[in-house]
Amino acid sequence: MSIQPLDALPLETLRRRSSTKWRSFPHDVIPMFVAEIDFALAEPITRALHEAVELGDTGYTPPQPGVREAFVGFAERRWGWSVDPERVRWTGDVMMGVVELLRATVAPGERVVVNPPVYPPFFDTVAEAGAVVEEVPLLDTGDGWQLDLAGIEAALAAGARAVLLCNPHNPTGTVFPREALRELAAIAARHGAVVISDEIHGPLASSDTPFTPFLTVSADAEAVGYVVTSASKAYNLAGLKCAVIVTASEAHARIVQALPWEVEWRTGLFGAISAVAAFSSESDAWLDALLARLDANRRLLADLLAEHLPRARYRLPEAGFLAWIDVSAYGWGDDPADPIREGAGVALHHGPFFGSQGRGHVRLNFGCGPDVLREALQRIGAFAREAAAASSAGTVAELVSRR
């Protein structure tokens, strides 16, 4: 039976939101930069939060908020992953969990491997933990991206102590295959390193590229790995603050249990309440409808780019609602998000923020209604045509200044 794609909220409703997406730019700019989506919350989440507000249930998060049990059920239903509930702990968000794990496993000044182009906070989080970033970029195969396993092994052999993995990958939307993750785990085990896997986009993998949690791939992965994940990306709950840290070995479970109490106390009560509702089976139908919408949108985006920006390079992401687009052929500079925003009135994320490999790129959020996606690409296409026409008589900067 086909699943009806989820409908986005009307723009007039969305513009009443007070989140970063809707308060960063004037109303004539279409915001497609930050990872927020344009849909109503899943009804079980809305119901749980309404009840909490009606009760005035706004105090401290309890010692056992039900998050571990809810996540264990979700992982089993969605991925066939049997998680030991005693090896699940919670915190405020994924990056909080990552930085605390880095502090616990990497000494100040030691190196941590990241795979750019990658989520910009990875660079900041490594520095916050007192460690040093070592870049081992993804390999562009021409058809997609893959981990540079030989490069990662060389970095670990030379002394790097950890790999900070983005799985599925942001911004490329790559779902790494089980075989690659298994080899990564074996490499880390050979060199006594750890792998911290940010799996926040895992619930958003498309049906044709199933997501593989890192800790499930091998005994090596269980021994070297930590997973940090959250319902916040799939269910649009980032402001409520709840994530989980998962381990699969006794040694790593002891490390997580030894983290300061404050790591757990940073979890927001509304974050815990909403995570429990999101991870429940009652929210599965909503998630399936969202995935149907995102699948339609990623394909619509390919058609719109072919029509309006035919020189752009884009590959269908295998997970998430973020598109990594190379627009360097249009000559808009290393950071094309700025001229696009100023010239077309569409706010995209800055490619260079994801590493030097992002020069000439933008990241576009297609977690919206198809009508919004169409208008955005029409605007950018019109800007591209005007810029091309203006290049013989003036400059793109002059065109932008006339907007």
Digits of tens for pLDDT over the chain (403 positions)? 689 999 999 999 999 999 999 999 999 999 999 999 999 999 999 999 999 999 999 999 999 999 999 999 999 999 999 999 999 999 999 999 999 999 999 999 999 999 999 999 999 999 999 999 999 999 999 999 999 999 999 999 999 999 999 999 999 999 999 999 999 999 999 999 999 999 999 999 999 999 999 999 999 999 999 999 999 999 999 999 999 999 999 999 999 999 999 999 999 999 999 999 999 999 999 999 999 999 999 999 999 999 999 999 999 999 999 999 999 999 999 999 999 999 999 999 999 999 999 999 999 999 999 999 999 999 999 999 999 988 765 555 555 554 5
Q: Is the dihedral of CA 266, 272, 274, 280 positive or negative?
A: positive
- For the chain, how many helices (H) and strands (E)? 17, 15
CB 263 within 8 A of CB 96: yes
3-state secondary structure of 8: coil
Which residues are bridge partners to 108 per DSSP?
A: none
pLDDT tens, 171-217?
999 999 999 999 999 999 999 999 999 999 999 999 999 999 999 99
Instruction: Find, among 162, 282, 149, 177, the residue nearest to 228 by Cα.
Output: 162
Considering just the CA atoms, what is the radius of gyration of the chain in Å? 21
- 11-40+284-401 and 43-283 share one fold: no
3-state helix, strand, coil in the chain (%, to 5): 50, 15, 40
Domain ranges for the chain, please list them.
11-40+284-401, 43-283
Phi-psi region at 109: left, alpha or beta (left = phi > 0; alpha = psi -120 to 50): left
CA 21 to chain centre: 15
Contact call for residues 92 and 81 (beta carbons, < 8 A):
no
Nearest 10 degrees: Cα torsion 91, 169, 294, 235? 0
The 10 Å Cβ neighbour count of residue 62 is 10
Please give the class, per CATH, of domain 43-283: alpha beta
- As given in the structure block, the two tokens for residue 64 are 């056992």
H-state helical runs in 80-218: 94-105, 121-128, 149-157, 178-190
Task: Tell which CATH architecture fits domain 11-40+284-401.
Answer: Alpha-Beta Complex (3.90)
Structure tokens at 220: 């090596």
